[in-house]
């Protein structure tokens, strides 16, 4: 059971709702179902960063925008909130979760038409109602009543549903604790924030399978962080469940020799990964017949001791095909047929194991994601699981065991383990793309800044360290690159960089400009801008003196874009339009605002032009003692804590209704044909940035060369 750590530790907002929604649909019911089958044993792996988020939501200490909008009176929703709901309140599996409810399906079909207040209130209910646990949908009179009502819900209905939601959230952790106490389940752990442990120990481990691959510009070698992620995980489980975990599912099944002593030192006795890791460790190939039965069951279906130096753990290796049948195939089968097929395959596997000389009982590890499959199954997977558990509970040849029981008697010892994950037996997903490598470099630099910090308050230092631990999580890197994508790629990218920016803020150091630029190398995050088409000669008076003076400028219209939808303040941007252009010696910028630039500056805010190219240059405009002042700031390499005031140079500043700037290209160090990349930001007087445009990629402009006018000449 795993979800990314969605919380921004500075704003305390959770940017996405999946911890809360999966808790309603999967986390409670998956373990509660076992009460019907007391002889069936299961191991649940609970990631600590998921658990602490669950605690916060159950205690009403956590919020996300989806939750806020689901609870807001429908009549009070503004147009932006309505648009957000239409865009995101249908994020559920269509066939199993939407189409089966006529009113929800109707709202989906009409989502591009004007929705009434009653429609929006119904959407608020259905968005959450379809995620409620099947136990409640079948037996709870409150939930059954809402489903039967179907439409024309009231604000009181929303309050009832919120009560059910809080009740379910509060049940999750106690239900696991109770199942563990009665011996029916084992609870194993992953490293606290779900990092790829081998890459924390040394990113160069990736070269084992990709020796010619490009590498991050900074090698990340911090086994001490991997050890701390493990120690924290064990402590979290002990606090919540009353006992320390002895089992470890290393994030994404990622293993290497380096993690063995770390796991043993943290008290873990067993770990698990994929069959491909075992095959590569043993130097064999696991082949299968035309029915998918493995040809070497005597090698796979046993636990091994992995001994590295003086440290040892037991390791089990999952049957990839059998696990994936549940995760990806059986959803389209009838529950009974799927359960029959699966148990038949288990029996055949055991018989083949004995026939090929396997010693003792075969251990067949079935390991899969705990929440992602079930929304594709009928009834949230409950009919299939009931059918499967019924067969396992009474089968004469099959016995379910916890992983600790299965790993109690390893039969062979290995002196090493091949480094890789359960995805293709390598780490490509998390470090193989240019986006990944950029992110690892940024993480390494933040870690260097943390380790070099001096004179910082101990509390701020601890917060900064926590931000680094969060940024080490695997999920940020999972969504980079071209092999995985979601509707929320920009949110994942922004939150990763936000965690690292928070590190520098807490250390009272300026964040690298690169952390304000999207790591996504596709065009999805690129700003929509027009390019300059003529040389400019504007009158710099802070007013739109003439329609023609900025006619040949490039421009960027400021929108409330998707990346801004999780800003805690929710306020509309102060800026509305940015114009930019050149004459042969000067860079010009015009900034339009919602009301008046003079009013904005008189309120103490600062408008800053933050350059990515040329690097280390900014220009800020503020009002002091009733006078508008514009100054260059340059990053001083020897003074990493701040920027050095470089004075006004040859700049001209005019601020009235709008802001107009003229910056000599010589002051910027830009030659003809040189590239400028920049953001326009609004900062509070204390330096806190409140908005930045564009959000993800800088505006890019090329200073004019001698033939610029002739190339852009128009009759």
Among 468, 479, 45, 50, which Cα is nearest to 253's?
Answer: 45
Backbone φ/ψ region at 4: left (φ over 0), alpha (ψ -120 to 50), beta:
beta
Question: Quick check: 378 pLDDT over 60?
Answer: yes
Burial 141-174 (b: 16+ CB within 10 A, else e): eebeebbeebeebeeebbebbeebbeebbbbbbe
Question: Quick check: 560 pLDDT over 60?
Answer: no
Q: From CA 504, how far away is CA 640, in angstroms rounded?
A: 10
pLDDT of residue 18: 96
Question: Quick check: 523 pLDDT over 80?
Answer: no
pLDDT of residue 595: 85
Residue 491's alpha-carbon distances to 176, 469, 476, 487, 534, in angstroms, are: 31, 19, 10, 9, 37
- Going from the N-terminus, what domains does the chain have, and what CATH number goes with each? 13-181 (no CATH), 190-414 (3.20.110.20), 439-520 (1.20.1430), 526-711 (2.60.40)
pLDDT of residue 590: 96
Average pLDDT, the chain: 93
The whole model's pTM is what? 0.88
Q: From CA 73, how far away is CA 62, in angstroms rounded?
A: 20
Interval 263-296: pLDDT, tens: 999 999 999 999 999 999 999 999 999 999 999 9
pLDDT of residue 564: 34
Q: What angle do CA 356, 362, 363 make, to 5 degrees?
A: 140
Other C-beta atoms within 10 Å of 308: how many?
20
pLDDT of residue 387: 98
Query: Does the bond joining 694 to the residue before it have cis omega, within 30 degrees of 0?
Result: yes
Residue 621's alpha-carbon distances to 333, 601, 612, 632, in angstroms, are: 65, 8, 18, 9
DSSP alpha helix (H) spans, 313-457: 320-324, 335-355, 382-394, 403-406, 428-431, 434-451
pLDDT of residue 715: 41
Q: In a 3-state reduction of DSSP, which class is residue 527?
A: coil
- Report which of residues 446 and 558 the model is more confident about: 446
Q: What is the pLDDT averaged over residues 238-264? A: 98
pLDDT of residue 565: 33
pLDDT of residue 688: 79
Interval 33-86: pLDDT, tens: 999 999 999 999 999 999 999 999 999 999 999 999 999 999 999 999 999 999
Burial 427-448 (b: 16+ CB within 10 A, else e): bbbbbbbebbbbbbbbbbbbbe
Give the largest Cα separation in the chain, rounded: 91
pLDDT of residue 403: 98
Span of 54-63, 137-146, 153-162, 517-526 with lowest mean pLDDT:
517-526
**Following DSSP, what letter does each residue of 475-486 receive, concatenated?**
HHHHHSSSS---
pLDDT of residue 591: 96
Pairing of strands 617-624, 627-635: antiparallel
Contact assessment for residue 343 and residue 395, using Cβ atoms and an 8 Å cutoff? yes
pLDDT of residue 573: 77
pLDDT of residue 75: 98
Interval 625-660: pLDDT, tens: 889 999 999 987 656 567 899 999 999 999 999 999
Interval 662-689: pLDDT, tens: 999 999 999 999 999 999 999 988 877 8
Radius of gyration of the chain from Cα atoms? 29
Q: Which helix (H) or strand (E) holds 635?
A: strand 627-635
Confidence of residue 696 (pLDDT cuts 50, 70, 90): confident
Interval 568-588: pLDDT, tens: 334 567 899 999 999 999 999
Backbone φ/ψ region at 417: left (φ over 0), alpha (ψ -120 to 50), beta:
beta
Q: What percent of the chain has pLDDT over 90?
A: 84
Question: Quick check: 325 pLDDT over 80?
Answer: yes
Interval 401-436: pLDDT, tens: 999 999 999 999 999 999 999 999 999 999 999 999
Q: What is the pLDDT averaged over residues 510-514? A: 88
């Amino acid at each position: 059971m795993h979800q990314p750590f969605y919380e921004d530790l500075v704003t305390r907002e959770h940017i996405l709702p999946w911890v809360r929604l999966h808790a309603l649909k999967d986390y409670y019911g998956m373990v509660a179902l076992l009460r019907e089958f007391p002889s069936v044993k299961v191991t649940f792996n609970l990631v600590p960063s998921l658990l602490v988020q669950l605690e916060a939501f159950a205690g009403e200490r956590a919020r996300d925008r989806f939750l806020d909008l689901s609870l807001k009176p429908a009549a009070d929703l503004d147009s932006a909130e309505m648009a957000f709901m239409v865009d995101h309140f249908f994020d559920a599996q269509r066939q199993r979760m939407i189409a089966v409810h006529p009113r929800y399906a109707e709202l989906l079909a009409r989502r591009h038409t004007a929705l009434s207040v009653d429609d929006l209130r119904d959407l608020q209910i259905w968005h959450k109602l379809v995620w409620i646990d099947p136990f409640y949908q079948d037996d709870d009179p409150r939930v059954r009543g809402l489903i039967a009502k179907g439409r024309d819900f009231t604000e009181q209905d929303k309050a009832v549903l919120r009560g059910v939601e809080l009740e379910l959230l509060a049940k999750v952790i106690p239900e696991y604790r109770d199942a563990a106490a009665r011996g029916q389940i084992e609870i194993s752990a992953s490293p606290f924030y779900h990092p790829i442990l081998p890459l924390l120990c040394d990113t160069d481990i990736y070269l084992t399978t990709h020796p010619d691959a490009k590498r991050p510009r900074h090698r990340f070698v911090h086994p001490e962080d991997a050890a701390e992620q493990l120690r924290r995980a064990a402590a979290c489980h002990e606090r919540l469940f009353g006992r320390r975990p002895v089992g470890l599912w290393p994030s994404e099944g990622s293993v290497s020799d380096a993690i063995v002593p770390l796991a043993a030192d943290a008290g873990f006795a067993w770990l698990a990964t994929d069959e491909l890791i075992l095959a590569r460790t043993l130097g064999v190939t696991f082949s299968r017949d035309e029915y998918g039965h493995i040809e070497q069951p005597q090698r796979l279906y046993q636990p091994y001791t992995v001994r590295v130096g003086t440290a040892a753990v037991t390791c089990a290796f999952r049957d990839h095909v059998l696990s994936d049948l549940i995760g990806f195939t059986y959803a389209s089968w009838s529950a009974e047929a799927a359960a029959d097929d699966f148990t038949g395959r288990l029996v055949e596997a055991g018989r083949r194991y004995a026939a090929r000389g396997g010693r003792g009982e075969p251990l067949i590890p079935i390991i899969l994601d705990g929440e992602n499959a079930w929304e594709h199954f009928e009834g949230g997977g409950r009919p299939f699981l009931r059918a499967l558990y019924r067969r396992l509970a009474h089968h004469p040849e099959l016995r379910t065991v916890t992983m600790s029981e299965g790993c109690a008697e390893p039969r062979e010892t290995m002196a090493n383990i091949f480094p890789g994950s359960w995805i293709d037996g390598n780490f490509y997903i998390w470090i193989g793309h240019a986006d990944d490598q950029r992110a690892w470099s940024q993480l390494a630099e933040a870690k260097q800044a943390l380790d070099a910090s001096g004179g910082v308050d101990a509390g701020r230092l601890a917060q900064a360290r926590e931000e680094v631990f969060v940024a080490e999580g695997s999920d940020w890197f999972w969504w980079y690159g071209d092999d995985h994508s979601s509707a929320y790629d920009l949110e994942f990218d922004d939150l990763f960089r936000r965690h690292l920016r928070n590190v520098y803020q807490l250390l009272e150091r300026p964040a690298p400009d690169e952390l304000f630029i999207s790591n996504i190398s596709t065009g999805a995050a690129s700003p929509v801008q027009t390019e300059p088409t003529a040389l400019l000669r504007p009158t710099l008076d802070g007013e739109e003196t003439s329609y023609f003076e900025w006619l040949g400028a490039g421009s960027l219209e400021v929108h409330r874009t998707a990346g801004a939808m999780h800003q805690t303040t929710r306020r509309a941007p102060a800026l509305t339009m940015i114009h930019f252009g050149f004459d042969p010696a000067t860079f010009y910028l015009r900034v339009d605002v919602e009301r008046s630039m003079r009013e904005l500056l008189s309120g103490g805010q600062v408008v800053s032009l933050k350059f990515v190219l040329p690097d280390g240059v900014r220009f800020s405009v503020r009002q002091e003692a009733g006078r508008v002042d514009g100054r260059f700031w340059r990053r001083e390499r020897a003074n990493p804590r701040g920027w050095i005031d470089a004075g006004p140079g040859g700049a001209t500043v005019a601020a009235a209704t709008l802001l107009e700037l003229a910056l000599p290209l010589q002051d910027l160090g830009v030659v003809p044909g040189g590239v400028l990349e920049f953001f326009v930001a609004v900062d509070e007087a204390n330096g806190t940035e409140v908005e930045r445009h564009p959000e993800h990629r800088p505006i890019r402009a090329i200073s004019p060369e001698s033939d610029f006018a002739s190339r852009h000449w128009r009759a």
